[in-house]
Amino acid sequence: MKYLLHGCRVVTMNARRDILDADILVDGDRIAALGPDIAVLPEARDAERVDMTGRVLLPGLIQAHMHVTQILFRGLCDDLELMDWLEKRTWPLEGAHSAASNAVSARLAALELIRSGTTSLVDMGTIRHEDAIFEVMEAVGLRGLFGKCMMDEGAGVPASMRESAEDSLRETERLIRKWHMRGGGRLRCAVAPRFIPSCSDALLTSARDLARANGLRLHTHASENMGEIALVEGSRRMRNILYLHKLGYTGEDVLLAHCVWLDGEEKRVLADTGTHVVHCPSSNTKMSSGFAPVAELRDMGVNVALGLDGAHNHMDSFLEMRQASVLQKALLNNPLALPAPEALEIATLGGARAMGQEAEIGSLEVGKKADLIALNLEMPHTLPAVGRDVVGRIVYEATRENVTDSMVDGRFLYRAGKFLTLDAGAVLRDAERECLGCICRAGLEFGTRPENAVQRPILPSRQVTS
C-alpha cells in the first residue's frame, strides 16, 4: 500500500531533532518521502490520502522489556516485592498457562500496546507455549524480539516452570529455526535466560553461546532489587553485574532489564561494554525495588531504553515516559534531570538501539521503516498549546487517550480509533475465561492475597554508590 499522510506536525527524532509541519509518503513498509510539498511528487499521485490535519506524528514507541504472558494476570499480583511476587503468584500462574491462554494474554497485551502507541517490543516470554506468542504477534502486526524464558534451577520455582538446561536450549533453537526473521524481519528471536537466581551457570553459558552463534540479542534481568542481589552474592560470591560480565553477559548485544542497584564498578562495566539498560520505572516503584540511576548511566554513555515489564496494572507507554523523567528529578533532587526530550529519546531511539535496529526504526526519516503513531493533542489534558513545546506535552501530559493511529511496516494496526488486526470484544471476553482457567490450574485462591507474604525490611530510598 501507498499512503500520503498529510496536514500533520512530525516529531522526527532525527539527528537534528527536527519538528516539522510536513507530509509523509509511505510506500510499502518504508517512508518514501517526508516534507512540506511532497503531495506534488509524481510518486505520491497514486497514494491513498490520509487526512492527518491537527495530528502530531512520532516514531512508534518501543518497549524494550516486557512479559506479555503476564498481562492476563493483571492485578492478581499486587502489593508484593519481587521474590514473593514471583514465588507466590507469577510463577504458579505462568506455569498454569495453556497455549490458548498464552495466546489470549498476548492478544490482550497487543490490544493495549497498540492502543497506547507501542509499535515494537522486546518480550521475555515464558517457559512453554512460546509459539502462541509468535503466532499472535505475526497476526496482529507488532514488531519485536521474542525469546522464550529460560530457567533450570532456583528456590521457589514450581515444577511447572522448571526445565533442564538441555530442553531449554533445544526449545530455544527450535524457535529460532521456526520464527527468526519471519514477517519480513518484523519478528526476531532473542535468547532470554530469566535471571541468575533461576539459571545454572551451564544454562547461562550455553545460552550465551547460542545467542552469539546466531547473532541474536541476549536479554535478561539484572539487579532489580536487593533480595535478588543477596541471592547472587550468596551463590556466586560476586556482585550481580560483575558476575554477568564474567559470564559474557555484557556488550552491545546484551539487554539488561532494571539495573537498579549498581555500585560504581558495575556502572563503569556497563558503560565500557556498551551494554543496553532497560529502565522499568512503574515496575520498580510498584514493587518498591528502587530508583534506577538512568540519568547518571546516560551521562556515562550507557544506552537506556524503556520497559513496561510485567503485569503491573497498566501498559501505557506515555505514563512510563513521564514516570521515567519525574523519578530522576526526585532521585537527583534536580528538576533538569531526564528532561522531556531525553525521556522521548529513551522510548524511541533508545529502544531501537537496544534492539539493534536503529538504522530501521526509532525515528521518522526517509528510507526507514514506516513505524509511526499519530496523536490528537487537542484534548483537555493536553491543552492549552499556546507557547508550549510539543515534546513536553507528549511526555508530561499525553496518555494513550491521545493516540488515534498506529502503523507498523506501513500497515495500519489502529486507524482513526479502530483496531484493524484484532477483534477487541472477543479478546476481552476470552481474557476473563482464560484468566479464570489459569487461576484454577495454578491452585490459587481467587480474590485473596497470598498468605505468609514475607515482610521485607524497608530499604534505603537512595541509590547505593561506591
Rounded to whole angstroms, the Cα distance separating 68 from 19 reads 33
Residue nearest to Zn ion (CB): 309
Q: Is 296 in the site for Zn ion (CB under 5 A)?
A: no
**Count of residues engaged in binding Zn ion, rule: CB under 5 A:** 1
Interaction residues for Zn ion, span 110-129 (CB under 5 A): none
Q: Which span (1-9, 208-216, 245-253, 304-312) binds Zn ion, by CB under 5 A?
A: 304-312
For residues 249, 255, 256, 257, the Cα torsion angle rounded to the nearest 10 degrees is -160
Q: Rounded to the nearest whole angstrom, what is the least distance from the CB of residue 257 to Zn ion in the complex?
A: 5
Q: Rounded to the nearest whole angstrom, what is the least distance from the CB of residue 39 to Zn ion in the complex?
A: 45
Instruction: Specify whether the CB–CB gap between 164 and 203 falls below 8 A.
Output: no
Q: Rounded to the nearest whole angstrom, what is the least distance from the CB of residue 289 to Zn ion in the complex?
A: 11
Q: Rounded to the nearest whole angstrom, what is the least distance from the CB of residue 383 to Zn ion in the complex?
A: 36
Instruction: Specify whether the CB–CB gap between 348 and 62 falls below 8 A.
Output: yes
Q: Rounded to the nearest whole angstrom, what is the least distance from the CB of residue 284 to Zn ion in the complex?
A: 11
Q: Is 309 in the site for Zn ion (CB under 5 A)?
A: yes
Q: Which span (8-16, 147-155, 193-201, 305-313) binds Zn ion, by CB under 5 A?
A: 305-313
Q: Is 320 in the site for Zn ion (CB under 5 A)?
A: no
Decide whether 261 or 412 has the Cβ nearer to Zn ion.
261
Phi–psi pair at 463, nearest 5 degrees: -65, 140
Instruction: Specify whether the CB–CB gap between 327 and 308 falls below 8 A.
Output: no
Rounded to whole angstroms, the Cα distance separating 89 from 86 reads 6
Decide whether 126 or 250 has the Cβ nearer to Zn ion.
126
Decide whether 154 or 410 has the Cβ nearer to Zn ion.
154
Buried b / exposed e along 119-128 (16+ C-beta atoms within 10 A): bbbbbbbbbb
Dihedral of alpha carbons 277, 280, 283, 288, sign? positive
Q: Which span (194-202, 244-252, 267-275, 303-311) binds Zn ion, by CB under 5 A?
A: 303-311
Decide whether 309 or 316 has the Cβ nearer to Zn ion.
309
Decide whether 309 or 320 has the Cβ nearer to Zn ion.
309
Q: Which of 53, 6, 52 is nearest to 25 (CA)?
A: 6
277 Cβ neighbours under 8 A, 6+ residues apart: 256, 259, 270, 292, 294, 297, 302, 303, 304, 305
Q: Which of 212, 227, 98 is nearest to 155 (CA)?
A: 227
Q: Which span (23-31, 81-89, 309-317, 391-399) binds Zn ion, by CB under 5 A?
A: 309-317
Decide whether 29 or 309 has the Cβ nearer to Zn ion.
309
Q: Which span (102-110, 284-292, 307-315, 379-387) binds Zn ion, by CB under 5 A?
A: 307-315
Q: Rounded to the nearest whole angstrom, what is the least distance from the CB of residue 64 to Zn ion in the complex?
A: 11
Q: Which of 314, 318, 401 is nearest to 70 (CA)?
A: 314
Decide whether 27 or 309 has the Cβ nearer to Zn ion.
309
Decide whether 228 or 309 has the Cβ nearer to Zn ion.
309
Q: Rounded to the nearest whole angstrom, what is the least distance from the CB of residue 278 to Zn ion in the complex?
A: 9
Decide whether 56 or 203 has the Cβ nearer to Zn ion.
203
Q: Rounded to the nearest whole angstrom, what is the least distance from the CB of residue 5 to Zn ion in the complex?
A: 35
Decide whether 62 or 413 has the Cβ nearer to Zn ion.
62
Instruction: Specify whether the CB–CB gap between 165 and 202 falls below 8 A.
Output: yes
Decide whether 253 or 309 has the Cβ nearer to Zn ion.
309
Q: Which span (79-87, 203-211, 302-310, 435-443) binds Zn ion, by CB under 5 A?
A: 302-310
Strands of 141-282 (E only): list them.
143-146, 149-150, 187-193, 217-222, 254-258, 276-279
Task: Give the count of alpha carbons within 13 A of 74, CB side only.
Answer: 17
Q: Rounded to the nearest whole angstrom, what is the least distance from the CB of residue 124 to Zn ion in the complex?
A: 6
Q: Rounded to the nearest whole angstrom, what is the least distance from the CB of residue 70 to Zn ion in the complex?
A: 9
Q: Rounded to the nearest whole angstrom, what is the least distance from the CB of residue 150 to Zn ion in the complex?
A: 13
Rounded to whole angstroms, the Cα distance separating 281 from 308 reads 8
Instruction: Specify whether the CB–CB gap between 122 and 354 falls below 8 A.
Output: yes
Residue 144, all three cell numbers: 519485536
Eight-class DSSP state of 60: P
Residues that bind Zn ion (CB under 5 A): 309
